[in-house]
Amino acid sequence: MTLSSMTGFARVEGRHGDIGWVYEARSVNGRSLDIKVRTPAGYDAVERAAKDLGKARFQRGQVSLTLTVRTAETKSEFTVNHKLLDYYLEVGQSLMAQGQATMPSLHGLLSLRGVIEAAGTEETPDGFAAIEAPLLADLGAVLEQLKEARLHEGRALHDILSQHLAAITDGVDRAEALTSQQADTIRERFSRRLNELLPDSDLQERILQEAAVMAVKADVREELDRLRAHIASAHELLTDAASQGRKLDFLSQEFMREANTLCSKSAFNDLTKIGLDLKAVIDQFREQVQNVE
């Protein structure tokens, strides 16, 4: 199984009758799993379901889910209540005959309560109850899409981290090639300098013994062996099915510790340069590891 990133985005739209909705899910880096849900009033069940479904799919990262619900605008049909209109006309004519009113205008007649009626004005059932099943189905769909987006990003991360590990391995190989020369070089430097400064061979021998001790202290083979062990562990973690972000972060710290020690022990400019190159690659490795779940 490939790595899973903590970054991703997903969007799902749905509709049931005149009610439409949009889910948007985003995920970014986080030390633990934090799921935040925003829904309209009355949709608390979605929030509870989102947290349960999210915990089943993700182990780390800050996940933000937003639900927007819209009711479609419908065209209303209107009818004239002819019976009521006839009644109003009769009353108007009676009042006109008595001289108590004038001829009513069309606007006035149509403005009278009940003359114009909207067709199909039955009450609709509660919004959430009507769309609960498809709404929750789309909730699962958007979280699955987010999971797939994180896995897609994780596959890219796997390739990047593998390239960094290859660069670290190359640095260790180059450092190892120089290490075998380091002790002899230190001894030769001391011997040459001693011949220039101290003609006494006994004193030279004692100082050369001290130089041998210094060469042992400057030996970086242990650091290189540990770096190789860390590289092997990192490769195993890259193919592990479990969430490995924290373990990879720890390994990146160990990589840097060994590279720092290598630089401090180095007696060669070339070896120091390799150590600095290693630190640069390790820093890039650690930066990418922060995205791993």
pLDDT at 123: 34
DSSP state, 47? H
Model confidence at 212: pLDDT above 60: no
Whole-number Å distance between alpha carbons of 77 and 72:
16
For residue 2, tell me if it sits in a domain.
no
Q: Which residue has the higher pLDDT, 85 or 77?
A: 85
Least confident span in 57-71, 103-117, 125-139, 208-222: 208-222
Tell me the CA distances in angstroms from 117 to 85, 88, 110, 111, 171, one per residue in order: 12, 15, 10, 11, 84
Band the pLDDT of 120: cuts 50, 70, 90.
Answer: very low
Contact between 12 and 141 under an 8 Å Cβ cutoff? The reply is yes
For residues 192 and 242, membership in a common domain is answered with: yes
pLDDT at 102: 84
Helix (H, G, I), strand (E, B) or coil at 223: helix
Neighbours of 118 (CB within 10 A): 9
Model confidence at 164: pLDDT above 50: yes
For residue 86, tell me if it sits in a domain.
yes
Least confident span in 18-22, 138-142, 144-148, 211-215: 211-215
For residue 88, tell me if it sits in a domain.
yes
Q: Which of 133, 151, 169 is the last residue of a domain?
A: 151
Least confident span in 28-37, 42-51, 122-131, 249-258: 122-131
For residues 240 and 184, membership in a common domain is answered with: yes
CA distance from start to end of the chain: 13
For residue 271, tell me if it sits in a domain.
yes
Whole-number Å distance between alpha carbons of 173 and 271:
11
Q: Which residue has the higher pLDDT, 219 or 213?
A: 219
- Per the structure, how many domains does the chain have? 3
Model confidence at 182: pLDDT above 70: no
For residue 1, tell me if it sits in a domain.
no
For residues 236 and 159, membership in a common domain is answered with: yes
pLDDT at 18: 86
Which of 8-12, 66-70, 198-202 is most confident? 8-12
Give the H/E segment covering residue 290: none
pLDDT at 121: 38
For residues 147 and 158, membership in a common domain is answered with: no
For residues 133 and 234, membership in a common domain is answered with: no
Condensed to tens digits (0 to 9), the pLDDT of residues 242-285 reads: 778 999 999 999 999 999 999 988 877 888 999 999 999 999 99
For residues 163 and 281, membership in a common domain is answered with: yes
Model confidence at 147: pLDDT above 90: yes
For residues 143 and 41, membership in a common domain is answered with: yes
Paired strand residues for 20: 15, 70
Q: Is the overall model pTM greater than 0.85, yes or no?
A: no
Contact between 43 and 69 under an 8 Å Cβ cutoff? The reply is yes
Least confident span in 50-64, 112-126, 136-150, 169-183: 112-126
Q: What is the mean pLDDT of residues 100-120?
A: 75
For residues 97 and 34, membership in a common domain is answered with: no
pLDDT at 208: 60
Tell me the CA distances in angstroms from 109 to 48, 81, 83, 96, 282, one per residue in order: 54, 11, 13, 15, 84
For residues 112 and 135, membership in a common domain is answered with: no
CATH classification of the domain holding 137: 3.30.230
Average pLDDT, the chain: 85
Q: Quote the percentage of the chain above a pLDDT of 90.
A: 54
Residue range of the domain that includes 112: 78-118
pLDDT at 73: 57
Whole-number Å distance between alpha carbons of 88 and 81:
11
Whole-number Å distance between alpha carbons of 187 and 214:
9
Model confidence at 159: pLDDT above 70: yes
pLDDT at 82: 86
Q: Output the CA angle 14-64-26, nearest 5 degrees.
A: 75
Model confidence at 204: pLDDT above 70: no
For residues 270 and 227, membership in a common domain is answered with: yes
For residues 58 and 189, membership in a common domain is answered with: no
Band the pLDDT of 124: cuts 50, 70, 90.
Answer: very low
For residues 159 and 203, membership in a common domain is answered with: yes
For residue 217, tell me if it sits in a domain.
yes
